[in-house]
Amino acid sequence: MKLPLLMLIFFLPSCQKEEKRARPPIQKEANTEDPNEKQKQSLLNVPAGAVIEDLVLPYYNDDKKKVSLLTIKEVTVADDLRSDKTILKGENLKVWLFDDEGAVRSTTVISSADYLVNKEQLVAKSEVLMIGSNGKFAAKSKGGVFSLTSGQAILLGPATAQFKIPQKKDIEAP
């Protein structure tokens, strides 16, 4: 009977130590933030109402190739009351989307749009005009969403696009 008691006394403190040891990793997890997230937060460390001019945001993929490039002539930091998050309201924006080899595929001109920092998305609710870089494609719409990290875009309808195609040549019947 004494032996189990002795063993209990011996093991109890060690169990308590285990509990104490279990906490620090949780705290550590909270401290280890993604450097990208940290950069995003630093961008927001300006008060609402602040105005930034000529903002340029390039995005690269894992292979260090360009995915997109966003330029904003004038950015106003604002608080979104619905989501309790800070958004950047931009005016006179341009978005370049690149293909998987880093060549420019399209250029888009937007008069005003919101930049969602956390999602890294650009949401336009005004006229959007997209021109293919070789001049053979053009599209316009009343709004759109651009994912700057993946190079994807949706021009919200009603939307219109135009392609230039080669002229047909007449041939004789076989």
Partner 1 sequence: MKLQPLILLTVIPILFAAPPPRVTDKDLARFERLVTPRGRPDLGAVESYEKAQARNQATTKRMVDFLNSASQPTLISQTDSPAPSQDEIEDPLEGLFEPEPDTLLISCSKGIYLDGESYEIDYLGEVKIQGKGLTMTCDKQLKALFYPPKKEEAAGKLPTEQAEKDPLAKFGGFGDLKQFTASGNVRVNGKTEDGQIVYMGGDNALYEMSKESDLENSTITFRGKKIGFMMGDVTNKSKIGTSYAMTSVSNNAWIKAVVRGKMLFVEWSPTGWLTKVGFPPQASEKK
- Positions in the binding site for partner 1 (CB under 8 A): 66-69, 96-106, 119, 121, 123, 127, 129-130, 132-141, 144-145, 147, 150-171, 173
Q: Nearer to partner 1 by C-beta: 24 or 158?
A: 158
* Neighbour-count burial of 39, counting CB atoms closer than 10 A to its CB (0-12 exposed, 13-18 middle, 19+ buried): exposed
Name the minimum Å distance from CB 76 to partner 1. Answer: 22
Least CB distance to partner 1 at residue 38 (A) = 22
Exposed, middle or buried: residue 109 (CB in 10 Å: 0-12, 13-18, 19+)? middle
Q: Which C-beta is closer to partner 1: that of 80 or that of 100? A: 100
Q: Which is nearer to partner 1, 75 or 153 (CB)?
A: 153
Least distance (Å) between residue 150 CB and partner 1 = 7
Token digits for 118? 């956390």
Task: Name the 3-class secondary structure at 9.
Answer: helix
Return the number of the residue (23 or 169) whose C-beta is nearest partner 1: 169
104 dihedral zone (left: phi>0; alpha: psi -120 to 50; beta): beta
* Distance separating the N- and C-terminal Cα atoms of the chain: 107
The distance of closest approach from Cβ of residue 32 to partner 1 in the complex, given in angstroms and rounded to an integer, is 25
